[in-house]
Structure 1
Amino acid sequence: MKESVLHRDTLKEDLGFFERIAVSVSNWSERWFPDSYVFAALAVILVAVCALASGASVKSVAGAFGDGYWSLIPFTMQLSFVAISGYVCAVSPMASRLIEKLAALPRSARAAVTFVALVSMALSLVNWAISMVFSSLLVRALARRTGLRMDYRAASAAAYLGMGATWALGLTSAAAQIQANPASLPKSLLDITGIIPFAQTIFLWQSMTMAVVLIVVSLLVAWFSTPAPERAHTAQDMGVDLSEPVTDTKSERRPGEWLEHSPVLTLLMVALGGIWLFNEFTTKDPLYAISSLNTYNILFLMLGMLLCWRPRRFLDAVAKSVPSLAGMLIQFPLYGAIAFMMTKAPGIDGATLSHHIAAAFVTVADSNTFAPVMGAYSAVLGFLIPSGGGKWIIEAPYVMQAANELKVNLGWAVQVYNAAEALPNLINPFWMLPMLGILGIKARDVVGFTFTQLLVHAPLVLLMLWGFSMTLDYVAPVMP
């Protein structure tokens, strides 16, 4: 017994700073961290209580809950198709072969985890769903390598870094997409901000520099927080089934099924979609065209069809993607309800909970401190409303009005939101749901490692938001 205790103490001394934090928080979260649905339900109750405490009536709070429950359904469908198209592309035969080749590259467990982090963050700048799905499948492929003894928790957390660090600074930034599309903007917001193209948001050199810094720092934290092989919790240790389902078998087919296994329909549909996409990108500014979430989804659905080649393989991939969306579909209504309770249940003074929270932050901000103050506020609100686009619709009217009044660059104000938006993702399990379904684990298994990233990201992001805001001048809104 004494030798066992001494061994554990020796291992503790051997742990690095980041690894010690990650392992300690992981041990705590595996015991105490709730399921993501419980997390969302608790947020509903907390917001309801706070709204009542701010003076709202029970009737108005309950009314806002019911009215808001289905309010995010259109956006939910769009995000679901982002996830579906990303999954289909990632599990296509060509992508599967690429994943196996990439999984053979790392020579050590720490290198494998860091490599996953790099792939995840790089892909997230193009498509957060492809990033999450492709990186998760890469983790499973790495976990099947005998002799690697890679910590499955750390690798899974690394696969999530695209969503927790860089996604909102890339093409799938919901806030940037909304601001670039007049059709997506509520008139009340359009009158405040006008149209803000990608060139003034995600393609600012300040934004791209911030993305590079976050990638480098995240890789370093991933490297130093990964447990050594002798302390690793492998997929086998965690009871994860790594076997891959057999698809596209050569069993006898009925004559009526021949079109399901022929590329003819795929080629015709991709041709139609390709002509439409060609027209979109040649008759409009390409940056404006790609910023439309509907255009974006058609592009990647057509790509998924082409990569799968045969309709049956495409349909099988779509069917496999749906279980990973279950948590999102059942929980998104709760976040819609939260948003309405915060913004549609006025108190005795006529002000909503959201207004009270915003006023508390805005009163302490000026043109120099707007970026870090509003970034901190957005991150805090993100723990309750983890919806990139939905939350932007809630925040943007008063945030952008304040930016106008304080003469803060409006494009950078969008990026303040984007950079801060990713921070709560690192510990809020909502956006982890599709990834967790693929990896076969719980949020509690990875949150220790993502929390370690948050400890570094939070002060770094706020510092960069403040520093880069000094390099940008105010530009008056441009109306359509």
Structure 2
Amino acid sequence: MPNDGKSQAAPVPQETQGGLARLAYSFTEWAETWFPDAFVFVILTTIVVAIANLATGAGPVAIAKGFGDGFWTLIPFTMQMAMVAITGYVVASSPPCTRLINRLAAFPSTGPGAIAWVSFVSMASSYFNWALSLVLGGLLVRALARRVDLKMDYRAAGAAAYLGLGATWALGLSSSSAMLQANPASLPKSISDITGIIPLSQTIFLWQSVVMGLIILGMSVLIAYFSAPKGRHVRTAQDMGCDVTEDGVVADKPERPGEWFEFTPVLPILIVLLAIGFCWAEFSKKDALSVISNLNTYNFIFLMIGLLLHGNIRSFLKAVTKAVPTSAGVLIQFPFYGAIATMLTLVLGSDGVSISHHIANVFVSIASVHTFPVVIGIYSAILGFLIPSGGGKWIIEAPYVMQAAKDLHAHMGWAVQVYNAAEALPNLINPFWMLPLLGVLGLKARDIVGFCFTQLIFHTPMVLFLLWALALTL
């Protein structure tokens, strides 16, 4: 082409924003505008449950008493969850784990690839322990966000780190209901009289359960990759105003003789030796899975590992100080969830039936042996949004759900897995379990829930289909 003397501007490349990315971005824009803080959400839920109790004929005084009686019922669990966040952060911020996380952060070469990688690490680790997936995923996101060569959307990466809780955890070794059903010493008589003991080989180790977990994992990674924002839609950690500086604790030196005790490795080693003795006694008397599934033991082991990895008391205490803010949401919101659970399960109205049983009767009454997985799956997901506790909700739900499974001659182990797979669905958009992760990332629930909702609209039909289709093979 002849040159006419006029400069020609180079064409501006157009952004290749995929359909899933546009969908996730739309949901996120909506959530950033309309989605309330997690604490507002729990207050609204409390009010709705109180109104529902009024509809059953309960008096205001009875409702208020149920609210007050239930408020502190989750205090042990609240402390356990706070320690999950703290101990996980302490371990992950130790020098050896910081080096490991930085190595993991070196693998991805693109923003969407990094988000897909976070989702895989989060879900794979959640199979072994859901608490580990939250902290490991969160710190991996922070490490990736520090890479100046990687333009990664911090919100989408945060949502990917949450997929372990929202997709696969209940199908793995930390499944509260499966562990409860397999341990006769822990199983309440109200459930054992109906189900008996159901070994793990009939729940999480069924080949149908393993196949379902792999399908969900693969689907989630693909959605995370293709829904990742690109171009001008990307919001990095810096854009969000989040501090993602190195998580490891910087070592210092004693300045006076009295500080020697804080820096010597001798004291941590002596304490860890005591811990090893305790663990030896526990594992020699009990099944290994039952020991690990106990949150107290899990937190104890993680705390001792953190103390050992930091090598001295000063470094360990600095890590604890940095970790405590990650548990703030848990400490203030869990008591309200205890009140909600009590108001849902107590008989407060004049009809002699709790709200949870009202809901259950609607679904259980329309189930057949073929529709049972889908009907109970839908019910478990709905109730899980109001009572976001896998183990606690199972104790509430199991007596009538498992009786229905028994009456319909459904596979009892698969009924547990129906509960597990469906129970994880509401976690995707429920701020309850997001709190420890959000504390690590410095984000709000509204920042990641749009991307989580994108996962939910694909997960719901797929999980319900798998529950129905795989049940036909049993």
TM-score where L is the length of structure 1 = 0.91
Cα contact 1:64–1:345 (8 A) shared by 2 = no
Cα contact 1:361–1:374 (8 A) shared by 2 = yes
Match of 1:26 in 2: 28
Cα contact 2:95–2:248 (8 A) shared by 1 = no
Letter in 1 for 2:327: L
Distance 2:202 2:329 in 1: 34
Cα RMSD, aligned residues only: 2.1
Distance 1:371 1:254 in 2: 66
Cα contact 1:87–1:129 (8 A) shared by 2 = no
Equivalent residues in 2 for 1:129-168, closer than 5 Å: 129-168=131-170
Match of 1:334 in 2: 336
Distance 2:310 2:252 in 1: 16
Match of 2:418 in 1: 416
Tell me the CA shift for residue 312 of structure 1.
2.5
Distance 1:19 1:261 in 2: 49
Distance 1:352 1:27 in 2: 38
Distance 1:26 1:75 in 2: 31
Distance 2:200 2:306 in 1: 25
Equivalent residues in 2 for 1:93-242, closer than 5 Å: 93-242=95-244
Distance 1:320 1:407 in 2: 52
Deviations 1:427-451 (A, max 9, x none): 1111111111111111111111110
Distance 1:196 1:321 in 2: 38
Match of 1:3 in 2: none
Tell me the CA shift for residue 93 of structure 1.
0.9
Letter in 2 for 1:86: G
Secondary structure (helix, strand or coil) at the match of 1:240 reads: coil
Tell me the CA shift for residue 23 of structure 1.
0.4
Secondary structure (helix, strand or coil) at the match of 1:184 reads: coil
Tell me the CA shift for residue 248 of structure 1.
4.2
Q: Which shifted more, 71-80 or 110-119?
A: 71-80
Q: Which shifted more, 252-261 or 148-157?
A: 252-261
Match of 2:437 in 1: 435
Match of 1:61 in 2: 63
Distance 2:325 2:67 in 1: 27
Tell me the CA shift for residue 129 of structure 1.
2.0
Change (3 A) 1:244 1:285: closer
Tell me the CA shift for residue 80 of structure 1.
2.8
Deviations 1:236-294 (A, max 9, x none): 22222222377344244343332322222222222222233233333333333333333
Match among 375, 400, 403 for residue 402 of structure 2? 400
TM-score where L is the length of structure 2 = 0.92
Match of 1:300 in 2: 302
Correspondence 1:377 to 2:346: no
For structure 2, list consecutive stretches of 5 or more residues without a partner in the other structure.
1-11
Distance 1:29 1:126 in 2: 31
Q: Which shifted more, 68-77 or 239-248?
A: 239-248
Match of 2:322 in 1: 320
Distance 2:341 2:335 in 1: 10
Distance 1:24 1:400 in 2: 40
Tell me the CA shift for residue 306 of structure 1.
2.4
Tell me the CA shift for residue 182 of structure 1.
3.6
Of structures 1 and 2, the larger Rg is shown by 2
Distance 1:252 1:437 in 2: 31
Distance 1:77 1:183 in 2: 23
Q: Which shifted more, 245-254 or 138-147?
A: 245-254
Identity percentage of aligned residues: 59
Distance 1:59 1:298 in 2: 41
Distance 1:76 1:410 in 2: 31
Tell me the CA shift for residue 365 of structure 1.
0.7
Letter in 2 for 1:110: P
Tell me the CA shift for residue 326 of structure 1.
1.1
Secondary structure (helix, strand or coil) at the match of 1:368 reads: coil
Tell me the CA shift for residue 395 of structure 1.
1.3
Cα contact 2:181–2:187 (8 A) shared by 1 = yes
Match of 2:5 in 1: none
Letter in 1 for 2:57: G
For structure 1, list consecutive stretches of 5 or more residues without a partner in the other structure.
1-6, 473-480
